[in-house]
Amino acid sequence: MITMLAQGYVVSLLVFSLTLLGSIPLGIVVAHGRLSRFAPIRLITQLYISIIRGTPLMLQMFAVFFMPFYVFGIKTGAGFKFIACIIAFIINYTAYFAEIYRSGIQSMPKGQYEAAQVLGYSRSQTFFRIILPQVIKRILPAMGNEIITLVKDTSLAFSVGVAEMFTESKALVASQRTMVPFMIAAAIYWVTCLLIEFCLSRAEKKLGYYHD
Amino acid sequence: MTNASALPAVSVRNARKSFGDKVVLHDVSLQIMPGEVVSMIGPSGAGKSTLLRCMTLLDRFDSATFSYGDLVVCSPNEQGHAVYSPEGTQESHNRFGIVFQNYNLFPHFTVMQNITDAPIVVQGRSRDEVEAEARELLERVDLTEHANKVPCELSGGQQQRVAIARALAMNPDVIYFDEATSALDPKLTADMQRIIRELASNGMAVGIVTHEMGFAKLVSDRIAFLFDGEIAEEGPAEQVIDHPRDPRTQRFLSQAED
């Protein structure tokens, strides 16, 4: 039982980290699209964010999973369910992260941009050296919320048949006629979140060396 | 062109700027020579801030002949519209520095990083050289023991001196002060006067935007009085403050006296 749950946990962690790896940087790109001076880009990103936030993640996962076959007539192999699941998670979390970045970027005082401009920083130097480090401090609590939600959302991968921890625990409950696998899985989710909360509060403390 | 020493550190000629229908600058010309302190005074809405924003390239003139020393930043085309040269715009950031009214220090950087980051990252100079220079600057503005603090640990006056050091670290020819003394007590104001005079005696051109006539008179060589987007009067500091010739200057100064 423990080995099955452990194997599932590894898959859950994989979904979790691949999603963050994709959506944290992509969120910055989409946030810039959302703040673009070019109206079509702004509208497209706005529509994307609105649709993603307005529809269920599970539905999005099925859409990605079935799209190759129903739209393009391509038969996908067994490995595709994992890929589809990661793609759907990244598309989904990018939208939420983009909105958090956007609010953080917009909360920055104009004077920081002006000081950087006068000192001759290029636009990308200004963003990566001056703006982004301060934005990270401002959005850390909101990002923390999303990241903790993601830990539990990984269980939705069950719906497309990815054998993550929840899928495994459900199978164990059915075959062994006991609630114990669920309780162990719940404990593991909780401890994972505790660990993340600990990391987040350490990061917040580390960034607490200044205020503006 | 005559020899380089006769060249103003910054020169703006026939500058115009409007926001929509509202004309904010109407044929303004202003030069600051190396070693000269020039204050721009005048009532709110006279165009001082817009002039300063355009001179620091945070905004653009609609029309002007504008240069830093021998570096042409913009000149008018046949229709009279200002054409900015990309090289002039880029290079101008090495020619001037500004101390903002609320300093705009980078809060996540230490005092040292605030001063050294742009010379290292933008000007591409070596860290050792820039840091050695920064330590000298910190000594000049009396902040040596605060080098590793972050701005929020400093008082307003100290933050302002960090902002001065940050501007000077770029080795500019011109330094601007936006409302240099509005937040300072009399002692700090006197310190500021000393710092500005010291800069000028080392050949720096200094441009100041201020509301404070007393300070302007003490620190400036020359004062330009702006009114409704025009320079109503310009001359030696004592003359403009004590014996103004233009009726608008006279009226403004008599109101400012109480």
A137 has a chain B CB within 8 A of its CB = yes
Confidence (pLDDT) at B212 = 85
pLDDT tens profile B166-199: 999 999 999 999 988 877 888 888 989 999 999 9
| Whole-number Å distance between alpha carbons of A41 and A89 | 22
Contacts of A126 in chain B (CB under 8 A): none
B35 or B3, which is more confident? B35
| Whole-number Å distance between alpha carbons of B109 and A212 | 11
Does B94 sit within 8 Å of A120, measured CB to CB?
A: yes
Confidence (pLDDT) at B181 = 81
Contacts of B52 in chain A (CB under 8 A): none
Residue identified by tokens 């023991």 is: B145
Confidence (pLDDT) at A205 = 95
Residue identified by tokens 């204050």 is: B39
Give the pLDDT band of residue B254 (cuts 50, 70, 90): confident
pLDDT tens profile A13-66: 999 999 999 999 999 999 999 999 999 999 999 999 999 999 999 999 999 999
Confidence (pLDDT) at B180 = 80
Confidence (pLDDT) at B257 = 61
Contacts of B123 in chain A (CB under 8 A): 120
Q: Provide the domain limits for residue A37.
A: 2-108+141-209
Query: Burial, B86: exposed, middle or buried (Cβ in 10 Å; 0-12, 13-18, 19+)?
Result: exposed
| Whole-number Å distance between alpha carbons of B136 and B130 | 10
A121 has a chain B CB within 8 A of its CB = yes
The chain B residue lying nearest A130, using CA atoms, is: B106
Asked if residue A150 is part of any domain, the answer here is yes
Token pair, residue A93, equals 């979390």
Residue A174 has pLDDT above 80, yes or no: yes
What residues form DSSP beta bridges with B226? B231
| Whole-number Å distance between alpha carbons of B8 and B29 | 12
Question: What is the value of ipTM here, to two decimals?
Answer: 0.92
Residue A3 has pLDDT above 60, yes or no: yes
Asked if residue A118 is part of any domain, the answer here is no
Nearest CB among A119, A133, A134 relative to B93 is that of A119
Residue B1 has pLDDT above 50, yes or no: no
Asked if residue A114 is part of any domain, the answer here is no
How far A26 CA sits from the closest chain B CA (Å)? 24
The chain B residue lying nearest A118, using CA atoms, is: B93
Confidence (pLDDT) at B2 = 44
Confidence (pLDDT) at A139 = 96
Asked if residue A18 is part of any domain, the answer here is yes
pLDDT tens profile B56-109: 999 999 999 999 999 999 999 999 899 999 999 999 999 999 999 999 999 999
Mean pLDDT (chain B, rounded): 92
The chain A residue lying nearest B55, using CA atoms, is: A118
Does A114 sit within 8 Å of B57, measured CB to CB?
A: no
3-class secondary structure per residue, chain B? CCCHHHCCCEEEEEEEEEECCEEEEEEEEEEECCCCEEEEECCCCCCHHHHHHHHCCCCCCCEEEEEECCEEEEEECCCCCEEECHHHHHHHCCCEEEECCCCCCCCCCCHHHHHHHHHHHCCCCCHHHHHHHHHHHHHHCCCHHHCCCCHHHCCHHHHHHHHHHHHHCCCCCEEEEECCCCCCCHHHHHHHHHHHHHHHHCCCEEEEECCCHHHHHHHCCEEEEEECCEEEEEEEHHHHHHCCCCHHHHHHHHHHHC
Contacts of B104 in chain A (CB under 8 A): 109, 111-112, 114-115
Percentage with pLDDT > 70 across chain B: 97
The chain B residue lying nearest A123, using CA atoms, is: B122
Confidence (pLDDT) at A72 = 87
Asked if residue A155 is part of any domain, the answer here is yes
**Domain count for chain A:** 1
Contacts of B245 (CB under 8 A, 6+ apart): B233
Tally of CB atoms within 10 A around A31: 24
Phi-psi region of B222 (alpha: psi -120 to 50; beta: other; left: phi over 0): beta
Nearest CB among A119, A129, A209 relative to B150 is that of A209
Residue A136 has pLDDT above 80, yes or no: yes
Q: Kindly report the CATH number assigned to the domain that includes residue A169.
A: 1.10.3720.10
Token pair, residue A170, equals 């459900």
Which of A114, A117, A119, A212 has the highest number of chain B CBs within 10 A, making it the mutation to test binding with B? A119
Give the pairing type, strands B10-19 and B63-68: antiparallel
The chain B residue lying nearest A111, using CA atoms, is: B104
Instruction: Of B15, B49, B11, give the one whose Cα is nearest residue B31.
Output: B11
Q: What would the mean pLDDT of A130-152 be, rounded to a whole number? A: 96
pTM: 0.90
Contacts of B118 in chain A (CB under 8 A): 119-121
Q: What would the mean pLDDT of B130-158 be, rounded to a whole number? A: 95
Residue B258 has pLDDT above 70, yes or no: no
Chain A residues 182-211 within an 8 A CB cutoff of chain B: 209-211
pLDDT tens profile B199-239: 999 999 999 998 888 899 999 999 999 999 999 999 999 88
The chain B residue lying nearest A133, using CA atoms, is: B108
Residues in chain A: 212
Residue identified by tokens 């979390």 is: A93
Does B107 sit within 8 Å of A120, measured CB to CB?
A: no
Q: What would the mean pLDDT of A159-176 be, rounded to a whole number? A: 91
Asked if residue A133 is part of any domain, the answer here is no
Confidence (pLDDT) at B5 = 58
Confidence (pLDDT) at B43 = 87
Mean pLDDT (chain A, rounded): 94
How far A101 CA sits from the closest chain B CA (Å)? 18
Q: What would the mean pLDDT of A154-176 be, rounded to a whole number? A: 91
> Degrees (nearest 5) of the Cα angle B13, B14, B20?
130
Token pair, residue B213, equals 């006539």
